[in-house]
Amino acid sequence: MRKAHIIANFFWLALSAAVCIESIRLKIGSFHAPGPAFLPFFAGLLLGILSFISLVQSLKEKEEEGTRIWGEVSPLKLILMLVVLFLYTALLKTMGFLIGTFLLLIFLFRVVEPLRWRTVLIASLLTIGTAYLLFGILLESQLPKGILGF
């Protein structure tokens, strides 16, 4: 697993370097007057920094023996989650963002990673409230309203 992480980190480092180099060819601009390469350059720079940190951590860790990627995943839960995510996507316009996402979160918190009902309801309400505040109110995104109108 360590070797795979090291290879992946080098890939992300190379990609970030390519993004930064290509961004420099365009006009980066400044914070007050950003150019067309402003966002790609700083996104590539952030990717490079995070990749480097992850690479250092991968080089420090010892090789783990016998770890399996899908070792602890229940096939039934995986299939059930895929079906529910497909249904969420298919019914999002009908149910609306708030109701559909609330029900999806309840399912994920209760079935996939079993938590107490109180924790499930509080976490679901906080998550959907924060998402609605951020996307629906602050960013004024058009979220599906559904048949109930909210």
- Residue 63 pLDDT: 66
- Residue 148 pLDDT: 75
Average pLDDT across the chain, whole number: 87
For tokens 């109110």, name the residue: 137
The answer to whether the CB of 47 falls within 8 A of the CB of 19 is yes
The residue type at 37: A
The three-state (H, E, C) secondary structure of 99-143, written as one string = HHHHHHHHHHHHHHCCCCHHHHHHHHHHHHHHHHHHHHHHCCCCC
Provide the domain limits for residue 27: 2-60
Total of domains in the chain: 2
Task: Verify that 82 and 127 share a domain, yes or no.
Answer: yes
* Percent of the chain topping pLDDT 70: 93
Q: Residue 13: pLDDT band by 50, 70, 90 thresholds?
A: very high
Task: Verify that 51 and 80 share a domain, yes or no.
Answer: no
Question: Does residue 66 form part of some domain?
Answer: no
Predicted TM-score (pTM) of the model is 0.56
Higher pLDDT, 86 or 32: 86
Q: End of a domain among 14, 29, 60?
A: 60
Question: Does residue 65 form part of some domain?
Answer: no
Give the model confidence (pLDDT) of 56-76 as tens digits.
Answer: 998 888 766 555 666 677 788
